[in-house]
Amino acid sequence: MSQLAPPAPPLRVALDDEDRFKLHTRLWLVWWTLVTILITCWFVSLGPIPGVLAVVVAKHVLVALLVMGLGVDANRQPEL
């Protein structure tokens, strides 16, 4: 019994009440993701060069939206 590890702290994942994003913010992220994909598809239909450029730009936009959705930029409160 003396070799058992102490319990791990609880994970800070999907905490509804303490989540800083509300429903409208999550819908905003989904909306802009959809708009980005649709604009990229339209540019791809114009030809290979506009398509490649659109995919490169869309990749950066989608990663930025993902980072916003994950809350990487959120201020962390100290653990008590």
Indicate the pLDDT class of residue 74, thresholds 50, 70 and 90.
low
Which stretch of DSSP H or E encloses residue 72? none
Indicate the pLDDT class of residue 46, thresholds 50, 70 and 90.
very high
Both tokens of 22, joined, read 């509300």
Mean pLDDT, rounded, for 26-39 = 93
Mean pLDDT of the chain: 81
Q: Does residue 54 sit within a domain?
A: yes
Expressed as residue numbers, the domain containing 62 is 23-70
**Predicted local confidence at residue 8, as pLDDT:** 74
Q: Does residue 4 sit within a domain?
A: no
Can you list the alpha helix ranges (DSSP code H) found in 1-80? 23-46, 48-70
Total domains in the chain come to: 1
Mean pLDDT, rounded, for 46-66 = 96
